[in-house]
Amino acid sequence: MAEIGIIGSGTWGIALASLLHNNGHQITVWSAFKEEIQMLKSTLSCRNLPELRLPQDMKFTADIQTAMDKKNLLVMAVPSIYVRETAKKMRPFCGKAQIVVNVAKGIEADTLKTLSQILEEELPDADVAVLSGPSHAEEVSRGLPTTCVAGARTRKTAEYIQNLFMSPVFRTYISPDILGIEIGGALKNVIALAAGIADGLGYGDNTKAALITRGMYEIGRLGMEMGGTFETFCGLTGIGDLIVTCASMHSRNRRAGILIGKGCTMEEAMEQVNMVVEGVYSARAGLALAEKYGVPMPIISEVNHVLFDGKAAKEAVSDLMLRDKTAESPDLPWE
């Protein structure tokens, strides 16, 4: 049995808290919002996971030191835009070689750093790892079979995380490719916005398949240019996470995209979804990384035009279809 602190009380943090408790571990959940902690204590439920009942012995606190003290593992489950701010609060209480596994997905817009890079910067004594994959909180909270990947600098840390999370309904693989895992996890949210926009415009399965396939090509090319591995982008945290995010109505990114395709502005769509839409924050970072590494990313470029430049979604699709003719895989040789 391990003592685990969940830093963040959103749907993913609570779903993982329930999973880890069911695995026999002692869980303390932290939130920056005292009213959220009071709600969790009094109702033992999460408003966005209506079927989940939390156990009586799960602890909840608004004091970050209490959430971190003497914990074998810390699960960083705050939205990507709050990772740096929260890590600064954690720093005074972070022990030497404290394992911190980040489960959020995103890229910091100003610095273009991945979330693990932010954590390593703000928590220099920590052993930072990641957990990612096709894993909607709604399904994990219901105990539906799910697979993820634990990425870490060392095999020892990855296997430790694997052993804590592994269960009959949550299969966990390990990988040393933290960068590839994070690039796939962050940028698939931007492609999911595009897939949702296509749904909102009334396009069909052909369009969705094209967006998923060419979107993965864009992500993979950039990720490998940055140092990620081909195998990672072919795996659960690459194509696997992209498929589930583009296809499922659990995906807040897809839902926001549908609203934009139907005529809503980005701000209106985010307000209606009423949850953090990570793809909006990763879109600009993805485009900046494409420019930095010289990798063409036409889908992510057009998503940026729709989100931030007022471009009509239908016009963006037309411009994607009418780009200069090219080969599907330009590097393949001809006879």
Q: HEC string of 38-95?
A: HHHHHHCCECCECCCCCCCCCEEECCHHHHHCCCCEEEECCCHHHHHHHHHHHHHHCC
Decide if 78 contacts 115 (C-beta within 8 A): no
Which residue has 């979330």 as its token pair?
115
Note the pLDDT tens digit of each residue in 37-94. 999 999 999 988 988 999 999 999 999 999 999 999 999 999 999 999 999 999 999 9
Closest by alpha carbon to 151, among 135, 127, 170? Answer: 127
Could you give the dihedral angle defined by the CA atoms of residues 302, 307, 312 and 314, in that order, rounded to the nearest 10 degrees? 50
- Tell me what the mean pLDDT of segment 155-159 comes to: 98
Tell how strand 146-151 and strand 127-132 pair up. antiparallel
pTM summary value: 0.94
> b/e for 189-214, b at 16 or more Cβ within 10 A?
bbbbbbbbbbbbbebeeebbebbbeb
Residue 287 CA to chain centroid, in angstroms? 18
CA distance 291 to 282: 14
Bridge partners (DSSP) listed for residue 68: none
Residue 302 CA to chain centroid, in angstroms? 21
What's the confidence (pLDDT) of residue 302? 96
From residue 28, give the alpha-carbon distance in Å to each of 94, 113, 170, 279: 16, 28, 20, 29
Indicate the pLDDT class of residue 233, thresholds 50, 70 and 90.
Answer: very high
Q: Which domains does the chain have, with CATH numbers?
A: 3-176 (3.40.50.720), 186-321 (1.10.1040.10)
Segment holding 253, helix H or strand E: helix 252-261
Per-chain mean pLDDT for the chain: 95
CA distance 296 to 78: 31
As annotated, the active-site residues are: 188
CA distance 9 to 192: 24
Note the pLDDT tens digit of each residue in 121-150. 999 999 999 999 999 999 999 999 999 999
DSSP string over 191-236: HHHHHHHHHHTT--HHHHHHHHHHHHHHHHHHHHHHT--HHHHTSI
CA distance 107 to 115: 6
Q: CB 71: neighbour CB atoms within 10 A? A: 23
Indicate the pLDDT class of residue 237, thresholds 50, 70 and 90.
Answer: very high
